[in-house]
Amino acid sequence: MDEERTEGTQPEKIALPRSIHLVPLDRVDGFDIRPGFYEINGATAIPGGVNFTVHSHGATGVELLLFHRKEEEPFAVIPFPEHYRIGNVYSMIVFKLNIEEFEYAYRVDGPYDPDKGLLFDRRRYLLDPYARAVTGQSRWGERAPHGQHYRARVVKDDFDWGSMPQPLIPMEDLIIYELHVRGFTRHSSSGVAHPGTFAGLKEKLPYLLELGVNAIELMPIFEFDEMQDYREVDGEKLYNYWGYSTVSFFAPNTSYSASVEYNREGNELKELIRACKQCGIEVYLDVVFNHTAEGDERGPFFSFKGFDNNIYYLLTPEGKYYNFSGCGNTLNCNHPIVHQMILDCLRYWVTAYRVDGFRFDLASILGRNEDGTPMADPPLLQALAFDPILGDVKLIAEAWDAGGLYQVGSFPSWNRWAEWNGRYRDDLRRYLKGDAGIAQGAVQRIAGSLDLYEASRRKNASVNFITCHDGFTLWDLFCYNEKHNLRNGWNNTDGANDNNSWNCGVEGESRDPAVNELRRRMVRNAFALLMCSRGIPMFLAGDEFCNTQMGNNNAYCQDNLTSWLDWSLLERNRDMFEFFRYMIALRKENRLLRANLSAGACGFPDVSFHGVTPGHIGPFAAHEHYVGVMFAGWEREKGPQLIYVASNAWWEELEITLPALPAPMSWTIMADTWTAEQHPRPHGGGALRIHGRSVMVLSAR
């Protein structure tokens, strides 16, 4: 949208808070200045000028640098006068600045003592930790000009959200679709006008509505540098494609915008989010507060290291970086300064961008103390759980970290935090491929991980998933026994080795019709169980049409056909898409699959487990591969209802006995993964034959 220029007005007309005294203006480097708004971090446009506020505990002086766009040297250097400092906060209003015509950075002076974690260096240009828009590397795959650094632009937050309400979808009703903004539409087959951008994703909303998902989880969209660790391997350009290496927590990634020059306000992302909400789709951001792109001692130096290295990062007694993230450094999340920045950041994304939820990468780090030890009641996690502005947003934790802390089922929650259920992924994968001794784990996961979560958490705790960005796609899960990551350039040493996958007898792509039909059935089995499990289902974009990464289970650097969704597969595998759509609709139509409706119905408890005969007593034995999970409940409008999920991971057909129903109830087969085409059909009850390696879903009312 067109923007009005901010013209200078007379300083005496500015409404100042009582805490700012009306003192005479100072004049520095040709600009009129006066003390600013100390409680407003970052750079904020106000009538007549811009308010700049930064803080540093250890600094002895701070300078504001102003740049003409695309110029390497500042046109003005304005030191914060000493009497503009209150406590550790430096705040200054600079008058008669046009926010469209300049960029800014800081220089910070202070002691340099690496053994104490102090790295102040007044020669460095530093990016504002609260920058709302970042320049310096804006077009995907283009290196910044020689000598250029990260700088910030001032954001004028004037986007009109109108009277649009938040969807506020209950947790148990969510169907989450994880996607990468660039990879979702970058392939030429996507058919969008703006491939690889927020605008391109917006063009695909009719598709998402047709599929039936009601929440999208965007892999990192905070400003990051895809050129970090750029290299070429066998002629292929490799980037920091996934984006799990944050440069600025408050700014959207500029290179995801179709109109880079006009994205200062993040309007393209805001328009995407508004369109999603109009369609009833919630938007979640995958956020990375466990580390930054500055890395360790060998990493770049562009922001946090220069403001307060010993506060922003977890440091050893020798001043080195703890590395619980696996990426060189670890944010000191429970230090009050970092704690406040993270809280401010999430509040900003909720108020300025109307984001509906957040998935926290390696969230266990957020619960570590300054010495790296886990905390019983981490103040940051508690603050996020009870913050009023965040009161309606979803908080989802990846409940582990790279330092060995694994908290699935025990992540501090205050009944507000959900968790990526890694146990669900691992147990279902092992069960589906026919491992022995895993049936008991499978029924627990399908039933809502009753062994992991207390009753008060079961409706909103477990995010169930079988695939995500990290690992095999669902198609590859049944095409490869081993990872094939040679193209990443690490001699196939990167990526997980414990994939719990099964290639159905042939490694990689096959022309054998029997192998391919088995693989397709295994994909249907996995998705059917996911949609029929209590908890919150999430799946990876492209799984619904058998997208492949050719066996790469760690495609973090692959900005190419390996990671881009190939939309031509949608027509080739239209039957798979229709199956996914059918199962999503089946879940939506049967609340009994999503939540406990009552204490049970028809003499059956809310959840019961069954073997080849009804009423399985005790844990499942190691040799058992068939499991039945039945949900029973009562709704006022529908009366008593039962849903029986029958899963045969054995390779041969079995005959099972269904639980006996009271008259006049009868069983209806709602889904059968033996075939792709689905339609309900009545079943007389009693004996039921279920094919090898297949899943059936039956209902009774």
Strands 536-540 and 176-179: parallel
Residue 353, helix vs strand vs coil = coil
Residues 6 or more apart from 37 whose CB is under 8 A from it? Answer: 17, 20, 44, 46, 51, 53, 91, 93
659/584 Cα distance (integer angstroms): 26
Taken in order 205, 207, 213, 218, the sign of the CA dihedral is: negative
Q: At what angle do helices 513-531 and 422-432 cross, to 10 degrees?
A: 140
Contact 640, 602 (CB under 8 A): yes
265/662 Cα distance (integer angstroms): 62
Q: At what angle do helices 336-352 and 379-386 cross, to 10 degrees?
A: 30
Return the bridge partners of 43, or none.
52
Catalytic residues: 361, 398
44/82 Cα distance (integer angstroms): 21
- Cite the beta strand spans of 118-238 per DSSP E: 118-119, 134-135, 151-152, 176-179, 215-218, 222-224, 231-233, 236-238
SS (H, E, C) 319-335: CCECCCCCCCCCECCCC
CA angle 431, 434, 439 (to 5 degrees): 40
Q: What is the largest CA-CA distance in the chain?
A: 91
SS (H, E, C) 86-113: ECCEEEEEEECCCCCCEEEEEEEECCEE
Nearest CA among 536, 534, 537 for reference residue 633 = 534
Taken in order 593, 597, 598, 603, the sign of the CA dihedral is: negative
Contact 474, 499 (CB under 8 A): no
Q: How many CA atoms lie within 13 A of 167 on its CB side?
A: 24
44/36 Cα distance (integer angstroms): 10
Q: How far is CA 56 from the centre of its chain?
A: 30
Take residue 199 and report the two structure tokens written for it.
Answer: 């605008």
Take residue 600 and report the two structure tokens written for it.
Answer: 């049970």
Report the b/e string of 215-244 with b at 16+ CB within 10 A.
Answer: bbbbbbbbbbbbebeeeeeeeeebbbbbbb
Take residue 659 and report the two structure tokens written for it.
Answer: 């639980």
CA distances from 524 to 431, 507, 647 (A): 14, 20, 12
For the residues of 250-280, what is the DSSP string, one character each? EEE-GGG-SSGGG-TT-HHHHHHHHHHHHTT
Return the bridge partners of 107, or none.
63
Other beta carbons less than 10 A from residue 177's beta carbon: 26
Take residue 293 and report the two structure tokens written for it.
Answer: 């792109």
203/490 Cα distance (integer angstroms): 36
CA distances from 465 to 43, 392, 636 (A): 40, 23, 31
Report the b/e string of 471-491 with b at 16+ CB within 10 A.
Answer: bbbbbbbbbbeebbbebbeee
Nearest CA among 534, 373, 527 for reference residue 459 = 534
| Nearest 10 degrees: Cα torsion 93, 99, 101, 102 | 50
